[in-house]
Amino acid sequence: MLSILIPTFNYNALPLAKILESQALKLGIVFELICMDDGSFSNKNRHNQHINSLSHSKFIEHKKNVGSKANRGRLANTSTCVTGLLMLFSVDLLTIQL
């Protein structure tokens, strides 16, 4: 299993999540995708809520900012991946469609 983890703060992560979900589905990978906002209270999170409608994906919006490092730790702890890989992606990553 692959856990695709996207920490974010005040950023629309939906485009990246859609691309990563599409690529994982095309490759037939068993995956989960989790995007976590670190308490930004941003209007952009209304877009990020749509991540919940993607396959094997969820968006979590925290109410308290704990910083980048701690947010990544929260993401890793939220993952249900026990014997697989964790992949952390920067939310502003440029991706290439397969």
pLDDT of residue 74: 93
Q: What confidence tens digit (pLDDT) does each residue in 38-85 have?
A: 999 999 999 999 999 999 999 999 999 999 999 999 999 999 887 779
Q: Residue 25: CB partners within 8 Å, gap ≥ 6?
A: 55
9 belongs to a structural domain = yes
- With vertex at residue 94, the alpha carbon angle to CA 88 and CA 95, rounded to the nearest 5 degrees, is 80
pLDDT of residue 81: 83
94 belongs to a structural domain = no
95 belongs to a structural domain = no
pLDDT of residue 9: 95
E strand spans, 16-88: 31-37, 57-61, 85-88
Domain count, the chain: 1
Q: How far apart are CA 63 and CA 60, in angstroms?
A: 10
pTM: 0.90
pLDDT band at 20; cut points 50, 70, 90: very high
The pLDDT of 8-27, averaged and rounded, is 95
- Domain boundaries, position 28: 2-86
98 belongs to a structural domain = no
29 belongs to a structural domain = yes
Q: Is the pLDDT of residue 7 over 60?
A: yes
